[in-house]
Amino acid sequence: MIVLVLVVLGTLSVIGFFWHFGSPEYTDTGYQPVQPVDYSHKLHAGELGMDCRYCHTGVEISPVAAVPPVQTCMNCHTLIKLSSDKLKLVRDSWTNKTPLEWVRVHKIPDYAYFDHSAHITAQVGCESCHGNVREMEVIRQVKPLSMGWCLDCHRAPEKYLRPASEITTMNYKAPSNQLEFAAKLIKEKNIKPPTTCSGCHR
Protein backbone atom coordinates (compact mmCIF):
# COMPACT_ATOMS: atom_id res chain seq x y z
CA MET A 1 0.00 0.00 0.00
CA ILE A 2 2.81 2.41 0.92
CA VAL A 3 4.56 1.66 -2.38
CA LEU A 4 1.35 2.45 -4.31
CA VAL A 5 0.91 5.78 -2.48
CA LEU A 6 4.56 6.69 -3.16
CA VAL A 7 4.19 5.82 -6.86
CA VAL A 8 1.03 7.95 -7.15
CA LEU A 9 2.60 10.88 -5.29
CA GLY A 10 5.79 10.59 -7.35
CA THR A 11 3.83 10.53 -10.61
CA LEU A 12 1.75 13.54 -9.58
CA SER A 13 4.88 15.41 -8.53
CA VAL A 14 6.58 14.80 -11.89
CA ILE A 15 3.43 15.87 -13.78
CA GLY A 16 3.10 18.97 -11.59
CA PHE A 17 6.76 19.83 -12.09
CA PHE A 18 6.53 19.76 -15.89
CA TRP A 19 3.06 21.37 -15.85
CA HIS A 20 4.44 24.41 -14.05
CA PHE A 21 8.05 24.70 -15.20
CA GLY A 22 7.21 23.80 -18.80
CA SER A 23 4.36 26.30 -19.12
CA PRO A 24 4.68 29.65 -20.98
CA GLU A 25 3.83 31.35 -17.68
CA TYR A 26 7.21 30.14 -16.41
CA THR A 27 9.32 29.78 -19.57
CA ASP A 28 8.27 32.89 -21.55
CA THR A 29 7.08 35.52 -19.07
CA GLY A 30 9.98 37.81 -18.25
CA TYR A 31 11.86 37.10 -21.50
CA GLN A 32 14.04 40.15 -22.14
CA PRO A 33 16.75 39.62 -24.77
CA VAL A 34 19.68 41.94 -25.32
CA GLN A 35 18.99 44.08 -28.39
CA PRO A 36 21.59 45.40 -30.85
CA VAL A 37 20.72 48.99 -29.97
CA ASP A 38 19.99 50.29 -26.49
CA TYR A 39 16.51 51.55 -27.38
CA SER A 40 14.40 52.83 -24.50
CA HIS A 41 10.62 52.61 -24.75
CA LYS A 42 10.51 54.42 -21.41
CA LEU A 43 12.17 57.43 -23.05
CA HIS A 44 10.46 57.38 -26.45
CA ALA A 45 6.95 56.18 -25.58
CA GLY A 46 6.99 57.35 -21.97
CA GLU A 47 8.82 60.64 -21.48
CA LEU A 48 8.48 61.82 -25.09
CA GLY A 49 4.92 60.48 -25.41
CA MET A 50 5.37 58.89 -28.84
CA ASP A 51 2.36 56.87 -29.98
CA CYS A 52 2.98 53.13 -30.52
CA ARG A 53 1.66 53.48 -34.07
CA TYR A 54 4.34 55.98 -35.11
CA CYS A 55 6.89 53.16 -35.13
CA HIS A 56 4.63 50.12 -35.46
CA THR A 57 2.81 51.53 -38.46
CA GLY A 58 1.12 48.40 -39.75
CA VAL A 59 -0.57 47.39 -36.53
CA GLU A 60 -4.01 48.72 -37.53
CA ILE A 61 -4.08 47.17 -41.01
CA SER A 62 -1.74 44.20 -40.89
CA PRO A 63 -1.61 40.88 -39.04
CA VAL A 64 1.84 41.88 -37.76
CA ALA A 65 3.03 44.91 -35.82
CA ALA A 66 6.25 45.23 -37.76
CA VAL A 67 9.51 46.36 -36.23
CA PRO A 68 10.16 49.83 -37.67
CA PRO A 69 12.80 50.28 -40.37
CA VAL A 70 15.84 52.45 -39.69
CA GLN A 71 14.15 55.16 -41.79
CA THR A 72 11.68 55.65 -38.93
CA CYS A 73 14.53 56.19 -36.46
CA MET A 74 16.26 58.58 -38.82
CA ASN A 75 13.14 60.71 -39.22
CA CYS A 76 14.20 62.20 -35.88
CA HIS A 77 17.84 61.25 -35.58
CA THR A 78 19.01 63.12 -38.66
CA LEU A 79 18.43 66.15 -36.40
CA ILE A 80 18.68 64.81 -32.85
CA LYS A 81 21.76 63.28 -31.16
CA LEU A 82 23.65 63.04 -34.44
CA SER A 83 26.91 61.94 -32.84
CA SER A 84 25.62 59.79 -29.97
CA ASP A 85 27.63 56.59 -29.52
CA LYS A 86 24.39 54.76 -28.70
CA LEU A 87 23.17 55.47 -32.23
CA LYS A 88 26.27 54.32 -34.09
CA LEU A 89 24.67 51.05 -35.24
CA VAL A 90 21.58 52.97 -36.37
CA ARG A 91 23.69 55.40 -38.40
CA ASP A 92 25.76 52.55 -39.85
CA SER A 93 22.58 50.70 -40.80
CA TRP A 94 21.26 53.83 -42.49
CA THR A 95 24.50 54.52 -44.34
CA ASN A 96 25.09 50.92 -45.43
CA LYS A 97 21.43 50.23 -46.18
CA THR A 98 21.46 47.11 -44.03
CA PRO A 99 18.67 46.35 -41.55
CA LEU A 100 19.24 46.20 -37.82
CA GLU A 101 18.84 42.69 -36.50
CA TRP A 102 16.43 43.18 -33.61
CA VAL A 103 15.65 40.17 -31.43
CA ARG A 104 11.95 39.40 -31.44
CA VAL A 105 10.39 39.43 -27.98
CA HIS A 106 6.70 38.58 -28.42
CA LYS A 107 6.06 35.49 -30.52
CA ILE A 108 3.37 32.89 -30.59
CA PRO A 109 4.11 29.45 -32.10
CA ASP A 110 4.08 29.13 -35.90
CA TYR A 111 1.13 26.73 -35.71
CA ALA A 112 -1.10 29.48 -34.27
CA TYR A 113 -2.51 32.44 -36.21
CA PHE A 114 -2.69 35.91 -34.68
CA ASP A 115 -3.82 39.14 -36.34
CA HIS A 116 -2.89 42.44 -34.69
CA SER A 117 -5.28 44.45 -36.85
CA ALA A 118 -8.28 42.34 -35.79
CA HIS A 119 -7.53 43.04 -32.14
CA ILE A 120 -6.95 46.76 -32.69
CA THR A 121 -10.19 46.96 -34.71
CA ALA A 122 -12.02 45.23 -31.86
CA GLN A 123 -10.48 47.88 -29.56
CA VAL A 124 -8.24 45.75 -27.39
CA GLY A 125 -5.50 47.95 -25.94
CA CYS A 126 -1.81 47.34 -26.64
CA GLU A 127 -1.20 47.15 -22.89
CA SER A 128 -3.48 44.11 -22.54
CA CYS A 129 -0.89 41.90 -24.26
CA HIS A 130 2.35 43.87 -24.05
CA GLY A 131 2.09 45.42 -20.60
CA ASN A 132 2.99 49.01 -19.84
CA VAL A 133 5.80 49.49 -22.35
CA ARG A 134 6.05 53.17 -21.43
CA GLU A 135 7.72 52.12 -18.19
CA MET A 136 10.11 49.62 -19.80
CA GLU A 137 13.70 50.62 -20.40
CA VAL A 138 14.11 47.31 -22.27
CA ILE A 139 11.08 45.51 -23.70
CA ARG A 140 10.20 42.25 -21.99
CA GLN A 141 7.36 39.79 -22.27
CA VAL A 142 4.96 40.24 -19.36
CA LYS A 143 2.12 37.92 -20.44
CA PRO A 144 2.42 34.21 -21.22
CA LEU A 145 0.73 34.46 -24.65
CA SER A 146 -0.37 30.86 -24.14
CA MET A 147 -3.49 29.29 -25.62
CA GLY A 148 -5.25 29.29 -22.25
CA TRP A 149 -4.37 32.95 -21.69
CA CYS A 150 -5.72 33.91 -25.13
CA LEU A 151 -8.90 31.90 -24.57
CA ASP A 152 -9.55 33.67 -21.26
CA CYS A 153 -9.85 36.92 -23.24
CA HIS A 154 -11.79 35.38 -26.13
CA ARG A 155 -14.34 33.96 -23.70
CA ALA A 156 -14.79 37.25 -21.84
CA PRO A 157 -13.74 40.08 -24.19
CA GLU A 158 -15.84 42.64 -22.32
CA LYS A 159 -13.08 42.95 -19.71
CA TYR A 160 -10.48 44.07 -22.25
CA LEU A 161 -12.28 46.39 -24.68
CA ARG A 162 -11.78 50.14 -24.48
CA PRO A 163 -12.60 53.29 -26.46
CA ALA A 164 -10.70 53.64 -29.75
CA SER A 165 -9.02 56.78 -28.42
CA GLU A 166 -7.51 54.76 -25.57
CA ILE A 167 -5.97 51.87 -27.58
CA THR A 168 -2.39 52.96 -26.87
CA THR A 169 -3.04 54.38 -23.39
CA MET A 170 -0.94 52.77 -20.67
CA ASN A 171 -2.23 52.35 -17.11
CA TYR A 172 -5.74 52.56 -18.56
CA LYS A 173 -8.47 52.54 -15.93
CA ALA A 174 -11.71 50.93 -17.05
CA PRO A 175 -14.77 53.11 -16.38
CA SER A 176 -17.42 52.10 -13.86
CA ASN A 177 -19.76 51.28 -16.77
CA GLN A 178 -17.18 49.01 -18.48
CA LEU A 179 -19.59 46.10 -18.98
CA GLU A 180 -22.27 48.38 -20.43
CA PHE A 181 -19.74 50.06 -22.75
CA ALA A 182 -18.34 46.68 -23.84
CA ALA A 183 -21.78 45.17 -24.47
CA LYS A 184 -22.64 48.10 -26.75
CA LEU A 185 -19.32 47.83 -28.59
CA ILE A 186 -19.65 44.06 -29.00
CA LYS A 187 -23.09 44.54 -30.53
CA GLU A 188 -22.04 47.44 -32.79
CA LYS A 189 -18.94 45.69 -34.12
CA ASN A 190 -20.38 42.18 -33.99
CA ILE A 191 -17.37 41.05 -31.98
CA LYS A 192 -17.28 37.26 -31.74
CA PRO A 193 -13.81 36.07 -30.74
CA PRO A 194 -13.31 32.45 -31.87
CA THR A 195 -12.99 29.80 -29.18
CA THR A 196 -12.82 26.81 -31.53
CA CYS A 197 -9.55 25.27 -32.70
CA SER A 198 -9.93 26.54 -36.27
CA GLY A 199 -10.08 30.16 -35.08
CA CYS A 200 -6.35 30.23 -34.40
CA HIS A 201 -5.03 26.99 -35.90
CA ARG A 202 -5.46 27.27 -39.67
Check residue 169 and give its pLDDT: 95
Q: Where does the pLDDT of residue 185 fall: very low under 50, low under 70, confident under 90, or very high at 90 and above? A: very high
Model pTM above 0.75: yes
Contact 39, 81 (CB under 8 A): no
Spans of all domains in the chain:
109-200
Q: 50: exposed, middle or buried (C-beta count within 10 Å: 0-12, 13-18, 19+)?
A: middle
Asked if pLDDT for residue 71 goes beyond 90, the answer is: yes
Q: Hey, is 9 helix, strand or coil?
A: helix
Q: pLDDT > 90: what percent of the chain? A: 79
Q: What is the DSSP letter of 128?
A: H
Select the more confidently predicted residue: 13 or 167: 167
Determine the residue type at 4: L
d(CA 119, CA 161): 9
Contact 59, 53 (CB under 8 A): yes
d(CA 10, CA 132): 40
d(CA 147, CA 24): 9
Q: Where does the pLDDT of residue 14 fall: very low under 50, low under 70, confident under 90, or very high at 90 and above? A: low
